[in-house]
Structure 1
Amino acid sequence: MKVKPRRAVIVEDNAQMRELIHMVLGALGITEIVSAANGAEAISALQAGGADIVFMDWQMDVMDGLECTRRIRAGVDGIDPKTVIVLVTGMVGEKNAETAYAAGVDLFLEKPVSVKILHAGVEKVLGRS
Structure 2
Amino acid sequence: MAVDLSRLKVLVVDDNGYMLTILRTLLHGFGIKNIFESRDPAEAFDTVRADAIDIIITDYQMDILDGLDFVRLVRTADDSPNPMIPIVMISAYSERRRVQKARDAGVTEFCCKPVTARDVFAKLTSVINTPRPFIRNKSYFGPDRRRAGVEQPTYRGPGRRASDQVEATSGEEAGDSNADQGGANAA
Larger Rg: 2
After TM superposition, give the deviation of residue 123 of structure 1 in Å: 1.3
State the alpha-carbon separation in 1 of the partners of residues 79 and 92 from structure 2. 28
Unmatched runs of 5 consecutive residues or more in structure 1: none
The structure, 1 or 2, with the larger RCO (C-alpha pairs under 8 Å, 6+ apart) is 1
After TM superposition, give the deviation of residue 8 of structure 1 in Å: 0.8
The one of 84, 89, 102 equivalent to 1:87 is: 89
Cα RMSD of the aligned pairs, angstroms, is 2.0
Taking structure 2 as the reference length, the TM-score comes to: 0.62
Letter in 1 for 2:120: L
Counterpart check, 1:58 vs 2:45: no
Which range is displaced more, 60-69 or 15-24?
15-24
State the alpha-carbon separation in 2 of the partners of residues 5 and 82 from structure 1. 19
State the alpha-carbon separation in 2 of the partners of residues 32 and 115 from structure 1. 18
Aligned length in residues: 127
Match runs of 1:104-123 below 5 Å: 104-123=106-125
Kept in 1: contact 2:86–2:108 (CA 8 A) = yes
Unmatched runs of 5 consecutive residues or more in structure 2: 131-187
The one of 74, 77, 84 equivalent to 2:76 is: 74
Deviations 1:80-129 (A, max 9, x none): 0011100001222111111100000000111112122111211111117x
After TM superposition, give the deviation of residue 4 of structure 1 in Å: 6.9
Which range is displaced more, 14-23 or 48-57?
14-23
Tell me the residue number matched to 1:38.
40
Taking structure 1 as the reference length, the TM-score comes to: 0.88
